[in-house]
C-alpha cells in the first residue's frame, strides 16, 4: 500500500505539471500570450520549440500521465488478492471434482465387484443346499445297504451252520468232534473210524434222541 501511495503521488504530480504546460501552450496558441513555463528550462528554451509542437507534447504527456495515474490509483491489491483466492479455489474445486469423479469410478467398480461376489455366494449357498438335500436322500439308502449287509452276514452264518449240520453227521468216539461220514480217520485226534462204528454211532444217536423225546 505504501508503494502504491508513493506511485500515485508521483504520477499525480507529474500529471499536474504536464497539465500546467498544456495550459501554458494553449494560452500561447489561442491567446497569443508568451510561453512562460518553458523559460524555466534553459536548455529547452534554447531549442525554440514551436507553439504547436509544445501543445501536442504537453497534451500527449498529460494524457499518458493521467492514464497511468488512474491505473495505479484504481489497482486494488485487496481485490487482486481476493481474485487470486477465488481463482485458486476454482482450480482446487475443479481438481477435487476430477478426483471425486475418479473415485466414483472406483466406487462403481467396487460395487460391481461386490454384486458379482454376492451372486457367486448365492450360487454357492444354493449348491450347498442341494448337496445337503442329496446327502439326506442318500442317507436312507446307506442305512438300507448297511442293514442288507448285516442280514447277508447273518444268512451266511446260518448257511454255514446248516452245511455243518448236513455234512458233519457223526461224532468221533475218541475226541467227540463232529465228522463227515466219509472220514476214515479223525482229523483232530487221528482215531480210525470204521463203517460199523459209524453205524453204531448213528444208531446210538437216534436212540438217544428217541429216549429224550419219550422222557419229555
β-strands 170-171, 178-179 pairing? antiparallel
- pLDDT at position 206 is 64
d(CA 162, CA 152) in angstroms, rounded, equals 15
Residue 209 lies in a domain: yes
Pair 16, 81: CB distance under 8 Å: no
Q: Mean pLDDT across the chain, nearest whole number?
A: 76
d(CA 179, CA 197) in angstroms, rounded, equals 13
Pair 11, 65: CB distance under 8 Å: yes
Residue 64 lies in a domain: yes
d(CA 8, CA 73) in angstroms, rounded, equals 6
- pLDDT at position 47 is 66
How is residue 13 written as a grid cell? 504530480
d(CA 74, CA 61) in angstroms, rounded, equals 20
Domain boundary among 13, 46, 75: 75
**pLDDT tens figures, 151-185:** 888 888 877 777 666 666 677 777 877 777 777 77
* Domain of residue 21, residue span: 2-75
Residue with cell 471434482: 97
- pLDDT at position 60 is 92
Residue 26 lies in a domain: yes
Q: Percent of the chain, pLDDT > 90?
A: 4
**pLDDT tens figures, 183-214:** 777 878 877 776 555 566 666 666 776 676 66
- 179 forms bridges with which residues in the sheet? 170
Q: Which residues of the chain have pLDDT under 50?
A: none
- pLDDT at position 192 is 77
Amino acid at each position: 500500500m505504501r508503494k502504491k501511495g508513493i506511485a500515485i503521488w508521483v504520477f499525480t504530480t507529474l500529471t499536474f505539471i504536464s497539465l500546467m504546460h498544456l495550459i501554458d501552450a494553449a494560452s500561447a496558441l489561442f491567446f497569443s500570450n508568451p510561453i512562460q513555463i518553458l523559460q524555466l528550462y534553459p536548455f529547452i528554451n534554447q531549442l525554440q520549440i514551436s507553439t504547436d509542437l509544445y501543445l501536442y507534447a504537453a497534451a500527449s504527456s498529460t494524457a499518458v500521465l493521467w492514464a497511468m495515474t488512474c491505473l495505479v490509483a484504481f489497482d486494488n491489491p485487496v481485490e487482486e488478492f481476493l481474485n487470486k483466492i477465488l481463482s485458486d479455489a476454482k482450480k482446487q474445486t475443479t481438481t477435487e471434482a476430477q478426483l471425486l469423479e475418479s473415485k466414483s469410478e472406483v466406487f462403481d467398480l467396487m460395487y460391481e465387484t461386490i454384486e458379482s461376489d454376492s451372486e457367486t455366494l448365492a450360487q454357492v449357498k444354493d449348491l450347498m443346499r442341494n448337496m445337503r438335500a442329496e446327502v439326506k436322500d442318500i442317507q436312507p439308502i446307506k442305512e438300507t445297504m448297511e442293514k442288507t449287509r448285516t442280514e447277508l452276514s447273518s444268512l451266511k452264518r446260518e448257511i454255514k451252520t446248516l452245511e455243518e449240520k448236513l455234512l458233519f453227521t457223526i461224532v468221533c468216539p475218541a475226541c467227540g468232534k463232529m465228522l463227515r461220514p466219509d472220514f476214515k480217520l479223525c482229523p483232530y485226534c487221528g482215531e480210525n473210524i470204521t463203517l460199523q462204528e459209524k453205524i453204531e454211532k448213528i444208531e446210538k444217536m437216534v436212540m438217544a434222541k428217541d429216549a429224550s423225546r419219550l422222557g419229555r
